[in-house]
Amino acid sequence: MATDTQAPVVAATGGSFLIEDRTPDEVFTPEDFTEEQEMIGQTAEDFIAKELIPRLPDILKLDYDLNRELLAKAGELGLLGVEIPEEFGGLGLDKVSGCLVAEKAGLDGSFATTFAVQVGIGTLPIVFFGTEEQKKKYLPRLASGEWVSSYSLSEASSASDAMNAKARAVLSDDGKSWILNGEKMWLSNAGFADIYITFAKVDGEHFTAFIVEKGMPGVSLGAEEKKTGIKGSSSRPLILLDAVIPKENLLGEIGKGHKIAFNILNIGRFKLGAMTSAGAKLAVGAATEYANSRTAFGQPIASFGLIKHKIGQMAILAYVSEAVVYRTAGMIDRTLADVDIHDAATFLTRIEEYDVECSMGKVWCSEILAWVVDENVQLHGGAGYVEDYPAERYWRDARVNRIYEGTNEINRLLVPGRLIRRAMKGDLPIFKKAMALIDELTSGPSLEAPEEGFLAAEGRMLTGAKKVALMCLGTAVQKLGEKLKDEQEVLGHFADIAMATYALESGLLRARKRAAARGEDAARLQEAAVKCYAQDAMDEIEASGRKLLAAVEEGDTLRTLLAALKRFTKRDVCNTVALRRQVADAAIEKAAFPLG
């Protein structure tokens, strides 16, 4: 696999962003794309522009044959096999390349869903867990687009609790087949798929994966779901009624289906971040085009202050979203640099190292997209609420991103849960750092030399944000102990602090890296974006910290902690109106996302 992502050899430990400081050279940004990555990204962009966009009306009518045709054309270009090993018909490229292709596909929500299932959750289980025979049979056909895949995990009764599946599998009397019974829900691509990666409990106990093929005895589909958005993608139930599945179609090991489901979803999360980031940039372009063409009171609405505020904020959040996505993808590539893709156990363990960052990226980027597309509708006014303009479709299509790949609520709980688990195992010295911070609270502020240089004030804000995160998590663990796992509101507030901190650091390091490479004058627009986001992030961190601390402490202890919170979030005021307008003016002039 390709590993040339211009990154240092040593990868940061997952979750270490809270306790360690990173330098610009240690993070991957979109400005670091290699020539090979740019090439595959351009190939994907050209494919979308030439093959998909002109046929979007037909895609939105849910044309099965057209979806298959487009996937086959993507396969001819190598876009379906980016992460499939070369010996099975793929390109064997890195995760940054996979993200970049996913981002280009994200220019339409319906096709993005179809594409993401095919290259991700519908294929990667076989890449990592398939037998040699399964890989030879399925992967070349999936890479070429000859066959289409789907993913069958959810059930109506189990919701986010996938391990509570009711679908059952038993071995046939002759021992040659598995007999599956159950109904799986919301399978993307189901209507035109050839195979379904399906999960059921062997003997009603052991959660296990299977490769189910269309046309096998007892395999059928329910009707198309009538969805709010992504109407051009297929979503149907899979009905298994004494379905006869060959014994060799068991995927992985009996009772180890959770390893397949959760590892593949983890990969899907940071890719979903890439697609939602693309959607945010697309909405910035749509907003500026409309604002430039729509006049009111004798002038384009793009000249109005509150419209500029919306456009500027949309662009700023899209910029930070990109930074979050590619920083995470770069870390994953870095840790995989010395791993053979055929060593699935090590490969997936290395990716799992960044499960916290993957969950944060999924939540943060999908919620940013939700805000951006909503503001795009608002900017369009009445035109944004009708189908004549794409703003309405972007809005509807974006909603599902907060539900699939694990709901945002589930992923919020995963962030502190995984950090605490690693701390308890001694893999991440968060508690040690938190205790040192408590000592600082009792002894007064440290006399560290103030940070200087490009975005120095924002660097100090980041330092304060990390202290807030450590103080809040340390206090919650110390006060609640084992009970903390049941205090979902507290865990959610911490996740919001952690996400804002990671996003702030990602945007800050991206801007600093540009300034270091091209000079500070070439990074003034990025500087304005980070200054604005830093102020917003610290507002959110302070508010979430206040709510969290008030939920776990009281009296004098609470007053001491709130005083520390105020000190850690102290910051200079800057004119964010002027800075945000600076970003907006650049977007309006370009009629597109201006910060790339």
Determine the straight-line distance between the first and last CA of the chain, rounded to whole angstroms.
27
Which of 188, 118, 158, 193 minimizes the C-alpha distance to 401?
188
Distances in whole angstroms, Cα of residue 195 to Cα of each of 69, 117, 255, 280, 450: 17, 12, 21, 32, 59
Cβ distance 140 to 91 under 8 Å? no
Q: Choose the catalytic residue: 83, 103, 405, 458.
A: 405
Is 405 part of the annotated catalytic residue set?
A: yes
Closest Cα to residue 357, out of 575, 148, 99?
99
How is residue 191 annotated by DSSP? G
Task: Read off the tokens for 149.
Answer: 């895949």
Q: How far is CA 100 from CA 30, 83, 92, 275, 324, in A?
A: 9, 12, 14, 9, 13
Picking from 378, 109, 65, the residue whose alpha carbon sits closest to that of residue 228 is 109
Q: What is the H or E stretch that residue 358 is in?
A: helix 355-380
Euclidean distance between CA atoms 588 and 364, whole angstroms: 25
Using CA atoms, how far apart are residues 134 and 224, in angstroms rounded to an integer? 29
- Dihedral over Cα of 23, 28, 33, 34: its sign: positive
Angle at 302 between CA 297 and CA 304, to 5 degrees: 60
* Amino acid (one-letter) located at 19: I
Give the three-class secondary structure for 256. coil
| CB 143, CB 86: distance < 8 Å | no
User: Strands 250-251, 206-213: parallel, antiparallel or unpaired by DSSP?
Assistant: antiparallel
Q: What share of the chain is helix, strand, coil (3-state, %, to 5)?
A: 65, 10, 25
Dihedral sign for Cα 102, 106, 109, 110, please.
Answer: negative
Do 251 and 196 touch, CB atoms closer than 8 A?
Answer: no
The string of DSSP letters for 381-410 reads GGGGGSTTSTHHHHHHHHGGGGTSSS-HHH
The closest of 252, 240, 173 to 213, measured between CA atoms, is 240
Catalytic residues: 405
